[in-house]
Structure 1
Amino acid sequence: MSVKHLKTLGWYLILMGIGYVFLFPLLFMLFSSLKPEQAIFADLYSIRAILPVGELSLDNYRNVFEKSNVSLYFLNSLFITGGTVILGLFVNSLLAFTLSRMAWSGQKVVLSVVIALMIIPLEAIVVPLLLLASKLPSIGWEQGMFVLKSSWLNTLHVQMLPFVANSFFIFLFYQFFRDIPKDFDEAAELDGATPFQVYRHILVPMSGPVFATVAILHFLLMWNQYIWPIMAVQGEDARPLMPGIQIFFGRQSSWGEIMAYASLVTLPVLAVFLMFQKKFVTSLAGAGIKG
């Protein structure tokens, strides 16, 4: 075997080792969710911990649905995350379009503000945001009729609307749109296209990779929300999955049931990434070439 082949084999072994480190927790979580608690601890220090061996069943998943309102939590998380991602793709990309493709007074100042907002963490504004949400009235549905509520707290939209616009995602769209030649815009404007038509019919079809990237990142951000839902939601009706796992953990559940709950939280994230992974990789590769 030549030196070149040995180096290639060495790199493959290193990459396999790194992949094992990342896959081990996922495999352990998934297969432990199918085992009784005694089998989990019996297999803990052997290769059996990450293999589908032994007495496997869906009893842990069945117990999760019986002991908690996980189906409602799942639907709430799906609605909150899906709605925020869809609105965010439109709002953030449209803001980036105005910053990168149109000329207007104060454009550079607004762009500077957007970049500056990227360094402010949620923890720094969560208390003022909570006070604001507690004062905003909203319309709710109770007992078959619409009622006016005195605040946004304990609602689904309080978990969505504050996170639709995101400075980091606006900047991602801005960077991608800026590298698309403006000749397309000028040709469309000569044909009588409005700015929104240029955005809708030219930039959006050409920007699939960045849309996929933002969709994945925004999905992860919203699906994993924990601090804000705990502060803004106290009732069961609007509670998402992530805060629900803390309540479920406090009910003296077995480790197999906890792993089953964690699997229900993790699998949708993997599914979304697999759906958009090609465009996601394309976007990262394109960013590396441009950089």
Structure 2
Amino acid sequence: MRKRKLIKNTVLYVFMTILAFLFLFPLIWMLVSSLKNEFQIFEDIGSIRAFLPPAAPEGGYFANYIAAFQRVDLFRYMVNSLVYTIGILLCGLVVNSMAGYALARFQFPLRHFWLAVIIATLIIPPESIFLPLYVLVYNLGWVNTYTGLIVPFVANAFSIFLFRQFFLDFPKEIEEAAKIDGCSQIGIFFKIIVPLSKPIFATVAIFTFINHWNDFLWPLVVATEDRMRTIQIGLQYFMNQPPIQWGQVMAALTVTTIPMLLIFIFLQRYYIQGLTHTGSKN
């Protein structure tokens, strides 16, 4: 039995390793191509050398990165995307976690109705509300501002639902003990609930960051000035400037991928815990 289990685990790990490499191949090819010149990229594309770094690239390994940052203001676009994404992330964690906690713990009229309404908004395509949303942002004078980029997307139905499901499984005895000690409801939430809910906060943070880091349409509509462009809009303008240098394009794409990889690497240990604790309670 032990030998059979060992063989089974070995086959499973080999299969998972192969699958992981298949998913990583596009990222590896993008990274390696960012180190090559145009001739090397197209010469190696049909062989295993497409996934191997060049021996001695012309101008050095970082020539494409330097040229990409000199061609357009990628640094400014990265900063705009970080402010936009982290602003939504931080504000969203506060607003959505408090909304989820209220739906999980507080007893108020039509509680289940409002939960159903929140969940129902998930079926509405965001693009269908962009026009009225833009009119509202324009009338408030928020066009080409971080406020106009961030505020409309702070509240998120899916995040509220994840928080609510997690808090349903949170032990009520801890909160009751805190109330006996004289702690207020706000104090209970921020001093007890939040520190003990790192998995769900990390899960929502990853979802929020990846979702809004890749946003294209809303920043395109609201950020019409070059100084406010996010990285996705900047990449579009970068690729539309002739001549297209694919090594520089791969370098720019590699740089824009780094923040998503970093946030997942640092929060991955909480990620699975958050997903597995979003409970089955109603």
> TM bucket by the smaller chain?
over 0.9
* 1:176 counterpart SS class: helix
The residue number in structure 2 matching 1:246 is 236
Do residues 234 (structure 1) and 224 (structure 2) align?
A: yes
The residue number in structure 2 matching 1:124 is 128
Quick check: 1:36–1:55 contact (8 Å CA) kept in 2?
A: no
| Unaligned segments of structure 1, at least 5 residues | 137-150
1:231 Cα deviation from its structure 2 partner: 1.3
Do residues 50 (structure 1) and 51 (structure 2) align?
A: yes
CA distance in 2, matches of 1:90, 1:74: 24
What is the CA RMSD across the aligned residues, in angstroms? 1.9
Quick check: 2:84–2:149 contact (8 Å CA) kept in 1?
A: yes
Q: Which deviations, in whole Å up to 9, do the C-alpha atoms of 1:147-200 show, x marking residues without a partner?
A: xxxx21122221111111100000000000011121222221122211101101
Do residues 265 (structure 1) and 256 (structure 2) align?
A: yes
**Closer/same/farther in 2, CA of residues 288 and 114 from structure 1, 3 Å limit:** closer
Do residues 135 (structure 1) and 136 (structure 2) align?
A: no
Q: Which deviations, in whole Å up to 9, do the C-alpha atoms of 1:255-274 show, x marking residues without a partner?
A: 00000110111011001100
1:224 Cα deviation from its structure 2 partner: 0.6
| Aligned pairs (5 A) from 1:19-30 | 19-30=20-31
1:8 Cα deviation from its structure 2 partner: 3.5
Do residues 102 (structure 1) and 106 (structure 2) align?
A: yes
Do residues 194 (structure 1) and 195 (structure 2) align?
A: no
- Please report the TM-score for the alignment, with normalisation by the length of structure 2: 0.93
1:9 Cα deviation from its structure 2 partner: 3.5
1:287 Cα deviation from its structure 2 partner: 4.3
| Aligned pairs (5 A) from 1:18-167 | 18-56=19-57, 57-136=61-140, 151-167=141-157
**Closer/same/farther in 2, CA of residues 262 and 158 from structure 1, 3 Å limit:** same
Higher RCO, 1 or 2 (CA under 8 Å, sep at least 6)?
2
| Unaligned segments of structure 2, at least 5 residues | none
- Please report the TM-score for the alignment, with normalisation by the length of structure 1: 0.90
**Closer/same/farther in 2, CA of residues 282 and 15 from structure 1, 3 Å limit:** same
* 2:194 counterpart SS class: helix
* 1:206 counterpart SS class: coil
* 1:118 counterpart SS class: helix
CA distance in 2, matches of 1:244, 1:194: 47
1:290 Cα deviation from its structure 2 partner: 8.0
